[in-house]
Structure 1
Amino acid sequence: MTPGVVIDLFREALLLIILLVSIMVVPSLIVGLVISVFQAATQINEQTLSFLPRLITTLGMLILAGPYLLNELIDFTTRLVSTIPTLIG
């Protein structure tokens, strides 16, 4: 196994991780930002107000994008396991 192959596998794995995390976290960050702007405009200083909408957003994205994310993870794992003999020898 050459260093180039290892770097390519590592790059693919990092891109997959970034995809998985960004699909789950970015909508929650946007909802948190909208709620923060609302709190600043109305001068409501309640910290727990933004928790429930962010939680619901994260769970909703998990329900909506879960099958896609799982398919991507399974495809990467299948490609990795099927190329193990060519990587070693």
Structure 2
Amino acid sequence: MEPEVFVDVFREALGLVSLLVAASILPSLLVGLVVSIFQAATSINEQTLSFLPRLLVTLAALALGAHWGLRTLMEFFEALVHQIPEVLG
């Protein structure tokens, strides 16, 4: 067993986790930015105004991207299972 194999697996897993998290967080970030610009332009200083749109967009992003995310995770784990004989042998 070579350490490079484990480093490669860890790098791929970290990249996959970053991609999946970004897919659910970036839409919320963009909506929060738009709401913040709206609040700054209208001088509305209500803290709860940005919470509900961000929550709804995050839930929508998770609902719409769940199939893609699960398929991506399954492909990654399937690739890991197929690499087991190469790592052990």
> Could you state the TM-score of these two structures normalised by the residue count of structure 1?
0.94
Consecutive unaligned residues of structure 2, counting only runs of 5 or more, are: none
Counterpart CA distance in 2 for 1:58 and 1:81 is 32
Aligned to 2:70: 70
SS in 1 for 2:44: coil
Counterpart CA distance in 2 for 1:62 and 1:42 is 30
Q: Counterpart amino acid of 2:53?
A: P
Deviations for 1:23-67, whole angstroms, at most 9, x for unmatched residues? 000010000000000001111111111111001101111111110
Consecutive unaligned residues of structure 1, counting only runs of 5 or more, are: none
> Could you state the TM-score of these two structures normalised by the residue count of structure 2?
0.94
Counterpart CA distance in 1 for 2:50 and 2:78 is 39
Which one is further off, 78-87 or 37-46? 78-87
Aligned runs of 1:7-46 on 2, under 5 Å?
Answer: 7-46=7-46
Q: How many residues end up aligned between the 2 structures? A: 89
Counterpart CA distance in 2 for 1:88 and 1:29 is 43
Counterpart CA distance in 1 for 2:48 and 2:84 is 48
SS in 2 for 1:57: helix
Counterpart CA distance in 2 for 1:54 and 1:7 is 36
